[in-house]
Amino acid sequence: MSNNTFTPTLGVDHTLAKMRILLAIVAYATSSVGIFSSLGATGLSLVMIARPSMFDSPQSYLFFLAGFVVLYAWIAHLVMCINWIANKRLETYWPASGSVAALLSILYFANVLSSTGGASLTIGKLFLALIAPIIWTFPAFLLAIHLVRFHLSSGDEQGKTVANH
């Protein structure tokens, strides 16, 4: 009697896949404070939908859109990470659009952080405001750099562009 059990495969060495899963878990877990803090902007954008009275200035519309840009940046990060674990390279769309969304998110939070406290803007305050979002998500930020490099590299042609946008 033969053993005909089905074993799912990712099309990648299982040791490599397990290592990548572990790295992703560590990066997301150690960046969780920054991830959940940034996703708070998305939550506020959803509240703004329910309370149209919050749209009281042109800046409130930018704030509303920023919440969804932040959400998209994390979705793109997760899509790239899942495909990296499976050793599948994505179309250029994902690393490019995810990078733009992440940069806009960092700039958005730099603006929010630099404008708090009522004091005048200084170079030091602006520097800290730009660095703070990166520090809070540093492991995920480093993983993002690696993910973008992975998905933009040619690699093996078998894995190239299997997951389309």
- Kindly state whether residue 49 falls inside one of the protein's structural domains: yes
Q: How many CB atoms lie within 10 A of CB 84?
A: 21
Most confident of 68-82, 95-109, 147-161: 68-82
Residues 127-139: tens digit of each pLDDT: 777 788 888 899 9
- Kindly state whether residue 4 falls inside one of the protein's structural domains: no
- Kindly state whether residue 109 falls inside one of the protein's structural domains: yes
> Residue 16 and residue 47: Cα distance in Å, rounded?
42
- Kindly state whether residue 116 falls inside one of the protein's structural domains: yes
- Kindly state whether residue 159 falls inside one of the protein's structural domains: no
The pTM of this model reads 0.78
Q: What per-residue confidence (pLDDT) applies to 160?
A: 47
- The mean pLDDT of the chain is 83
Name the domain count of the chain.
1
Q: What per-residue confidence (pLDDT) applies to 159?
A: 46
pLDDT at 165 over 50: no
- Kindly state whether residue 34 falls inside one of the protein's structural domains: yes
Q: What per-residue confidence (pLDDT) applies to 121?
A: 63
Q: What per-residue confidence (pLDDT) applies to 36?
A: 92
Q: What per-residue confidence (pLDDT) applies to 131?
A: 82
Domain that includes residue 46, residue range: 22-152
What would the mean pLDDT of 134-155 be, rounded to a whole number?
93
What would the mean pLDDT of 99-103 be, rounded to a whole number?
95
DSSP annotation string for the chain: ----------SS-HHHHHHHHHHHHHHHHHTHHHHHHHHHHHHHHHHHHH-GGG--SHHHHHHHHHHHHHHHHHHHHHHHHHHHHTT-PBPTHHHHHHHHHHHHHHHHHHHHHHTTTSSPP-HHHHHHHHHHHHHHTHHHHHHHHHHHHHHHS---TTTTT-B--
Q: What per-residue confidence (pLDDT) applies to 114?
A: 66
Residues whose CB is less than 8 angstroms from the CB of residue 81 and which lie 6 or more positions away in sequence, other chains included: 24, 143, 147
- Kindly state whether residue 162 falls inside one of the protein's structural domains: no
> Residue 161 and residue 91: Cα distance in Å, rounded?
5
Residues whose CB is less than 8 angstroms from the CB of residue 44 and which lie 6 or more positions away in sequence, other chains included: 63, 67
What would the mean pLDDT of 6-23 be, rounded to a whole number?
77
Q: What per-residue confidence (pLDDT) applies to 54?
A: 84
- Kindly state whether residue 61 falls inside one of the protein's structural domains: yes
